[in-house]
Structure 1
Amino acid sequence: MNKERLYEKLNDFKRASARLNDALGIQIDDDIVYDGVIQRFEFTFELSWKVMKMFLEYTGITDVKSPRSTIKEAFTYGLIEDEEHWLDMMIDRNKTSHLYDEDQAKLIYGKIKTHHSELLSSLCEKVEEEMKRLD
């Protein structure tokens, strides 16, 4: 695993996470805000598990192929602290990608705002810490 490529992916993830947090700061006046936040969440989640996967591969853990296996290995490694909430976030991400129900979207929006965005931001910080430690 190329360290420079990992840093590039981490920076992409950090920017996506920041944009998600920016979107969460917008007052909800229209359904388009829900839609925009959910789309940013989908993108940010995809980058998050790919960053975890690349980081784990960089440290020599190569048996991670799917988001679920990556989350489990990241928890075992100590990269994330709350495996259950990460798996819940993965399920929410899958729900938003495959069907659209307004009530479900609002429920997931609430979870993005109260839990998911914090987990994503914490991952950014933890990967940066670990990269510095490994340098």
Structure 2
Amino acid sequence: MKIAPPSCEKCFEDYKDALNELQDVVKLYKTAPNEPKNQKRVIRTFELTHELALKTIAEYFKKQGRIQPFSGSRDATVEAFNEELIDDGKGWLEMIIERIKFNPLYTEDFQGEFAENIAKTYIKLLENFERKLKNKLD
């Protein structure tokens, strides 16, 4: 039995749920930013949220009749920027680069820096994406 892929709207709902969770985790993180457990939780929740953003972007383009296989997250990000789904293409590309650089084998110093970037910068980019896509879908 073949299962139909989720719709753009379903992907967007899943994304919004993950973003809400990330917002809650970032609030907790800000109470104890040097706690490795909080840093790891921020990073894990961010990664899920970012993946759902990318999936939502792909489904949005399918809905628009522009089905194109993206060769990776960078292509999807560039296309989303061109379509004005995101307003800071450079910031989104930096998110991707940091995700690539982040590896559980890196030192806790990088983990702390990555968590801090998520809490200060990347969450705002994800919130802007939510706002822009909501306007496009309404």
Q: How do 1:72-111 and structure 2 match up within 5 A?
A: 72-97=78-103, 99-111=105-117
Cross-structure match for 2:15 = 13
**Contact between 2:58 and 2:76, CA under 8 Å: does it hold in 1?**
yes
Cross-structure match for 1:130 = 136
**Contact between 2:16 and 2:130, CA under 8 Å: does it hold in 1?**
yes
Q: Give, in angstroms, the shift of residue 104 of structure 1.
A: 0.8
Q: Give, in angstroms, the shift of residue 127 of structure 1.
A: 1.0
TM-score w.r.t. the length of structure 1 is 0.88
Residue type of the alignment partner of 2:51 = E
Cross-structure match for 1:116 = 122
Count the aligned residue pairs.
Answer: 131
Q: Rate the CA distance shift 1:38–1:82 in 2: closer, same or farther, 3 A.
A: same
| Aligned partner (choices 56, 79, 99) of residue 51 of structure 1 | 56
Q: Give, in angstroms, the shift of residue 122 of structure 1.
A: 1.1
Alpha-carbon distance between aligned partners in 2 of 1:103 and 1:125, rounded to the nearest angstrom: 32
Q: Give, in angstroms, the shift of residue 103 of structure 1.
A: 0.8
Q: Give, in angstroms, the shift of residue 30 of structure 1.
A: 2.4
Cross-structure match for 1:34 = 39
Alpha-carbon distance between aligned partners in 1 of 2:11 and 2:58, rounded to the nearest angstrom: 11
Q: Give, in angstroms, the shift of residue 6 of structure 1.
A: 1.1
Gaps of 5+ in 1: none
Residue type of the alignment partner of 2:93 = L
What's the CA shift string for 1:45-91, capped at 9, x where partnerless? 11011111111221122224121110000011111111111000011
Alpha-carbon distance between aligned partners in 1 of 2:101 and 2:83, rounded to the nearest angstrom: 27
For the residue of structure 2 that corresponds to 1:45, the secondary structure is helix
Gaps of 5+ in 2: none
Alpha-carbon distance between aligned partners in 1 of 2:45 and 2:16, rounded to the nearest angstrom: 12
**Contact between 2:36 and 2:112, CA under 8 Å: does it hold in 1?**
no
Q: Rate the CA distance shift 1:99–1:62 in 2: closer, same or farther, 3 A.
A: farther
For the residue of structure 1 that corresponds to 2:65, the secondary structure is coil
Q: Rate the CA distance shift 1:131–1:97 in 2: closer, same or farther, 3 A.
A: farther
